[in-house]
């Protein structure tokens, strides 16, 4: 349930939350520079959809 994108840097997923009126983004990368690139991809996709990434959860 959502959209998963696999890249050479890792993967990211966007899906609707089951408990809140928000989109949830998850990403996993091999290192911090790769994670930064994945987050930029998420931001780009959100912007194309007229959305903006909100505050991050502390994990």
Helical ranges in 1-59 per DSSP H = 32-48
Question: Which residue range forms the structural domain that includes residue 7?
Answer: 3-48
Sheet containing 10-16, strands listed edge to edge, beginning at the edge strand earlier in sequence: 3-7, 10-16, 23-29
- The residue to which tokens 């998850």 are assigned: 26
Task: Retrieve residue 50's tokens.
Answer: 């007229």
Decide if 54 is inside a domain: no
Domain count along the chain? 1
Decide if 58 is inside a domain: no
What's the CATH code of the domain at 15?
Answer: 3.30.310.50
For the whole model, what pTM was predicted?
A: 0.82
pLDDT tens, residue by residue, 5-59: 999 999 999 999 999 888 999 999 999 999 999 999 999 999 999 998 887 765 5
Rounded to 10 degrees, the C-alpha dihedral 36/45/1/8 comes to -40
Decide if 21 is inside a domain: yes
Decide if 7 is inside a domain: yes
Decide if 27 is inside a domain: yes
- The residue to which tokens 């998963």 are assigned: 4
């Amino acid at each position: 349930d959502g959209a998963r994108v696999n890249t050479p840097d890792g993967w990211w997923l966007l899906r609707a939350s089951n408990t809140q009126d928000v989109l949830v983004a998850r990403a996993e990368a091999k290192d911090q520079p790769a994670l930064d690139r994945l987050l930029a991809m998420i931001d780009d996709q959100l912007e194309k959809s007229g959305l903006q990434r909100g505050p991050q959860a502390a994990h």
